[in-house]
């Protein structure tokens, strides 16, 4: 049985790899035709797919799955429209494949350039939301990659129904059907087998809880694009405007709290503390945010709870904000380096030198001046799409779009050149 | 004892990480001063270092280490001069850190760009050649990274002596000494501890045998830049010039045989086989290369040995060449995709359409037209330096220079922009 499952997973991965060779050099027009055809097919199959989705929801409720998890399973409430519309948006994006950059002529006459190419085969491992099947499938294939989709067992019927349309649309437009693979089983062992398929897979993208991400990183020799925690900071510099500070802190903390770019620790320059913090805290109080402050913070804001050491660097994902008054920009940078997660860190300042020093010295994936941490997002930064936010510095760091799903090869043209 | 060693390794890695924060924003001038000062110091310390090197060589001989391994240990025979000269060459290279590209203004007025930054802390694990201590240390630090150097136990004394000069030069010019770390022990267990230091290390580069590379990939959750095997192909197209074919095949096969960019399988278009192969084989015969051919090859060249299935995709690293006659370019591409290792693959042709199709369809890290496979090399492709040849498609694919030791962050400048 275990052997049989392993072979099933291997067959899927091998088929994806062979399809990736054809897919890699297909013209953009064929890939875009597939995206648009998929959108048409999904609309035509809407009743059947929503029926499968309903079945997943019923079964999950029967199994006692938590209500927020069940809600995330649903394709209703605008999610269907976003998913179908997303396909048309991806079709409109520029295809990164084939672009040649860094072209030079070497002294011996060799013409050298670097051509952007697909990665090959990408495995996506994700939970609940079945729309990821379509969203991620669309981005991977637009960048010329075959994709192996392994959604959660709770969304099995929805994912199978969506996957069938992705494959049927491929057959319709002459794109290799095997470029899109879904798992024919809900067995969790299939993930373990998938992690061993380094012969066929070029990249694994786990989308889900920290436990899943760590499992994939530790158990697989295949490169992983990890989306791990975000401990984001805002630093209010000596010259920070009080009103702008309050607005940016509020937007960074409150807009969405359970996301990786939400604010977790606020740092404030001592020279600004008494002038700026009261306005900031007043705004946060209206939203019921708990302040966990250093002694100086609690002096300014007696309603605050004294912060414990463990609060620095904590990803609360909740209505809690750690606040520390620091000596200067140096101390703020030092705190971010020691306790941050190199995700998103913003300074609020009107001091030019301070702004530039922050941008230069804080090496987080997104570093900002006078803006909300919530802009750390592929769409907001102009990538046109987002497959995820990488917390590893290799390959892609931060929000990742189509280009992150590609690599570059050296293209060398000669007239008989030899090394010797 | 095991606990003590673990703590020793952790102390080293933590110190490297803290040093990396300072190093990351040092001006280029300080890093270049360090490179030049290191060159001076090495020259002054030459007698002491060569004495340490002599001790490694004597001890290795006494332990019965194989002669080629002992030879690779030596810093004599021009290796010293290359090592010291290399420092000055790296000083002359352009510093990639701080470069901003892809700058755009978003509709809401946010200015977004991507700034090149160091990776952080890089661990190098290597064998024998002690010059890697200096070569790799120089490249990592020039790109703004702290480096943890773990050379082989057989070169322990040489590596310690070289490492001491790298650190002393740092102190001389005001670069943090802890940016360069060498292992104070020959214990192999230190590698196992190093592989677990994901809190401090951003990248591991193993340079050594396939066993070492695979160990690191399988046992560590830290991203790895793997330098694995190269099964390189040359395809002689229907229009290939016989003389150019013979020269390119000879240079690709014979110049250096034990390197990853050496030719292993020759493919030949059926329409060119009888015209071109005899010239090619005659040239290879002079160098004593064994031909392992498909039936058609052996018909043309009766001295050839019939190829076995296992010869396709084999990395001989020796005076052996597998040769196959194929129907056309499609069959050649298919063979390369099935049996190649995506390293370096070259077509010899005078047909424009064929040359462009090869460049487009073969997604190896270096793909060439009418040139030797030996050009797959960082220096020859114009990178100015080479830290290795990556066989993984993530981050860097193929020869990797200074830029491969960096990543990019998003730099966002606003005037109070909010998401909501």
Q: Domain extents for chain A? A: 2-228+399-412, 232-375
Calculate how close chain B gets to A370, using CA atoms only, in Å: 5
Asked if pLDDT for residue B1 goes beyond 80, the answer is no
Q: Find, among B359, B320, B317, B365, the residue nearest to B340 by Cα.
A: B365
**What confidence score (pLDDT) does residue A229 get?**
85
Q: What ipTM does this complex have?
A: 0.94
B366 → closest Cβ in A363, A382, A410: A410
Q: Is the pLDDT of residue A74 over 90?
A: yes
CA B68 to the chain's CA centroid: 21
d(CA B6, CA B10): 6
Q: Which residue of A355, A369, A412 is in closest CB contact with B368?
A: A412
Q: Which residues of B touch A115 (CB under 8 A)?
A: 359
Q: What is the pLDDT of residues B127-172, one digit of tens each?
A: 889 999 999 999 999 999 999 999 999 999 999 999 999 999 999 9
Give the N- to C-terminal CA distance of chain B in Å, as an integer. 56
For the stretch A138-185, pLDDT in tens is 999 999 999 999 999 999 999 999 999 999 999 999 999 999 999 888
First to last CA, chain A: 56
Asked if B370 and A414 come within 8 Å (Cβ–Cβ), the reply is: yes
DSSP B224: B
Percent of the residues in chain B that have a pLDDT greater than 70, as a whole number:
100
CATH of B232-375, one of 3.30.420.60, 3.40.50.2300, 3.40.309.10, 3.40.50.620: 3.40.309.10
Instruction: Name the β-bridge partners of B167.
Output: none
In the predicted structure, residue B185 carries a pLDDT above the cut 90: no
Instruction: Tell me the per-residue pLDDT of A90-110, one tens digit each, with 9 for 90 and over.
Output: 999 999 999 999 999 999 999
Minimal-distance CA residue of chain B relative to A114: B366
Q: Do A21 and B106 touch (CB under 8 A)?
A: no
Instruction: Please state, in angstroms and rounded to a whole number, the distance separating the CA atoms of residues A176 and A26.
Output: 10
Chain A CA closest to residue B348: A416
Stretch B183-209: mean pLDDT: 92
Q: Is the dihedral of CA A367, A372, A373, A376 positive or negative?
A: negative
Which letter does DSSP use for residue A224 in this model?
A: B
Task: Classify the C-alpha dihedral A150-B397-B400-B152 as positive or negative.
Answer: positive
CATH topology classification for A2-228+399-412 = Aldehyde Dehydrogenase; Chain A, domain 1 (3.40.605)
Mutation site for B-interface testing, chosen from A96, A365, A392 by largest number of B Cβ within 10 Å: A392
pLDDT of residue B420: 84
DSSP B106: -
Predicted confidence at residue B97, as pLDDT, reads: 97
- Which residues from A are below 8 Å from B217, CB to CB? 221
Interface touch A118/B337, C-beta < 8 Å: no
Binary contact (A418, B374; C-beta < 8 A): yes
Region of residue B257 (phi > 0: left; psi between -120 and 50: alpha; otherwise: beta): alpha
Q: Report the CATH superfamily, name and number, of domain B2-228+400-413.
A: Aldehyde Dehydrogenase; Chain A, domain 1 (3.40.605.10)
Within 13 A of A48's CA, how many CA atoms are on the CB side?
A: 12
Q: What is the pLDDT of residues A269-322, one digit of tens each?
A: 999 999 999 999 999 999 999 999 999 999 999 999 999 999 999 999 999 999
Q: How buried is residue A410: exposed, middle or buried, by Cβ count under 10 Å (0-12/13-18/19+)? A: buried
Sheet holding B344-348, edge to edge: A100-105, A111-118, A406-417, B366-371, B344-348, B232-236, B263-269, B320-326, B290-293, B305-306
């Amino acid at each position: 049985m275990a052997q049989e499952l392993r072979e099933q997973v291997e067959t899927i991965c091998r088929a994806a790899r062979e399809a990736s060779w054809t897919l890699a050099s297909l013209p953009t027009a064929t890939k875009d035709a597939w995206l648009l055809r998929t959108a048409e097919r999904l609309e035509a199959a809407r009743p059947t797919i929503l029926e499968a989705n309903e079945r997943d929801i019923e079964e999950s409720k029967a199994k006692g799955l938590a209500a927020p998890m069940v809600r995330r399973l649903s394709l209703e409430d605008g999610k269907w429209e976003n998913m179908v519309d997303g396909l048309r948006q991806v079709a409109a994006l520029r295809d990164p494949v084939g672009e040649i950059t860094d072209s030079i002529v070497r002294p011996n006459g060799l013409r050298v350039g670097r051509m952007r190419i697909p990665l090959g085969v990408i495995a996506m491992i994700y939970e609940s939301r079945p729309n990821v099947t379509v969203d991620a499938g669309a981005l991977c294939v637009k960048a010329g990659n075959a994709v192996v989709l392994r959604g959660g067992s709770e969304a099995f019927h929805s994912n199978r129904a969506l996957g069938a349309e992705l494959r049927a649309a491929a057959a319709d437009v002459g794109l290799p059907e095997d470029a899109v693979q879904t798992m024919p089983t809900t067995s969790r062992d299939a993930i373990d087998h998938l992690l061993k398929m380094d012969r066929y897979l070029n990249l694994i993208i786990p989308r889900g809880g920290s436990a899943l991400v760590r499992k994939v990183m530790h158990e697989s020799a295949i490169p992983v694009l990890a989306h791990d925690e975000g401990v984001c900071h805002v630093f209010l510099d000596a010259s920070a405007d009080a009103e702008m500070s309050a607005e940016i802190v509020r937007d960074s903390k409150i807009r969405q709290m359970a996301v990786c770019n939400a604010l977790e620790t606020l740092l404030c320059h001592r020279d600004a503390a008494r002038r700026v913090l009261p306005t900031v805290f007043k705004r946060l109080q209206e939203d019921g945010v708990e302040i966990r402050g250093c002694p100086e913070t609690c002096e300014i804001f007696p309603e605050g709870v004294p912060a414990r050491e463990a609060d620095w660097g904590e990803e609360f994902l909740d209505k809690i904000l750690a606040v520390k008054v620091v000596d200067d920009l140096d101390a703020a940078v030092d705190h971010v380096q020691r306790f941050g997660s190199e995700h998103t860190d913003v300074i609020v300042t009107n001091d030019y030198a301070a702004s530039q020093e922050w941008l230069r010295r804080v090496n987080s994936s997104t570093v900002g001046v006078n803006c909300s941490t919530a802009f750390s997002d592929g769409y907001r930064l102009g990538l046109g799409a987002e497959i995820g936010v990488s917390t590893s510095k290799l390959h892609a760091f931060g929000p990742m779009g189509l280009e992150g799903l590609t690599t570059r090869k050296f293209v060398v043209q000669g007239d008989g050149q030899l090394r010797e």
